Structure formats: C-alpha cells, structure tokens
Amino acid sequence: MRLFLDWLTTHGAPMSERDDERLWAAVADHSRRRLIDAMLISGEVTQTELAAQLPFTRQAVAKHLAVLEQVRLVTRRREGREVLFQLDLDRLELAAHAMSRIASRWDQRLMKIKKLAESAHRRKATQGSAREVLSGVKIPPT
C-alpha cells in the first residue's frame, strides 16, 4: 500500500495514509466492485440506471457511489435534473497498478516460502536416507 502512496505523491495527487486505506476498503467490497464493473460497461450513468442493472436498490447504489466518490474513484456532474456518475479511469488505473505491484511482491514472498519448504523437505528426506543406511551398519564395539 505504501507504493501506491509513493506513486501518488510523486505524480501529483498526494494522499494521506488514511485516504489510501479508505481506497482499499472501498474496492474490497464485492458490491462496489460489481458497481464499478457496471460503470465500466455503461460509462456515464445515473443512480437509477445502475440500480436497474444490478440487484441493488437505488438507495444501496447511492450509498456505494458515495463511498466511491469519497475515495475519488467516481465523479458526478449535473445535467438538467439528472446527476450523472462516471468512473475516474485514471484513478482506477492507479489503484489497479498498485494492486498489481502488491500482488507481485506477495508472489515473490510466496516463492521464497516455497523454496524454504522444499529445502527443509529435502534435508529431512536426506537425513532419513542416511539413517536408513546407517541402521544396517554394524559398528563394532570399541
């Protein structure tokens, strides 16, 4: 997560660590990810249109949109009587990039753990083989 903060700081949109945590919490929710997917397909859309596409009430859509707006993943604009919502694709790309980098770091950590486990398994197997060989050897008393 720190990488995301670092990237934003060096590329113009500084965030606090709290803002960063709120972003991760916002995209962690399955319902909000479904809403994001629907917005990716539909582009600019009203709450009512989103509610028609998803198994959520209009009020639930409004609450999810409010959370996404707070973390600046969604913007709104008024057109006459309607309020249109749109994903901030640049911000979404930043979040996706940061998640990808975190996933890569976890892949590296898991690979290290795998190598350690395999090494320990080989040592145990080698020790077992040595014991089997030595168990058949008669050592004369001294």
- In 3D space, the residue among 125, 97, 78 whose CA is nearest the CA of residue 23 turns out to be 97
Would residue 86 count as lying in a domain?
yes
Highest mean pLDDT among 1-10, 12-21, 38-47, 117-126: 38-47
Say how many C-beta atoms besides its own lie within 10 A of residue 64's C-beta: 23
Q: Is 137 part of any domain?
A: no
Q: What is residue 99's three-state secondary structure? A: helix
Task: Give tens-digit pLDDT for 55-79.
Answer: 999 999 999 999 999 999 999 999 9
Look at residue 45 and tell me if it is in a domain: yes
Does residue 65 fall inside a structural domain?
Answer: yes
Task: List CB contacts of 72: < 8 A, sequence separation 6 or more.
Answer: 88, 91
| Number of domain units in the chain | 1
* Burial of 60 from C-beta contacts in 10 A (0-12 / 13-18 / 19+): middle
Type and span of the H or E element at 67: helix 58-70
Query: Is residue 40 scored above 50 in pLDDT?
Result: yes
Q: Is residue 11 included in any domain, yes or no?
A: yes
Mean pLDDT in residue range 24-33: 91
The set of long-range contacts for 92-95, using a CB threshold of 8 Å and a minimum separation of 24, is 92/36, 94/4, 94/7, 94/8, 95/4, 95/23, 95/27
Q: Is the pTM of this model over 0.75?
A: no
Evaluate whether residue 28 is within a structural domain: yes
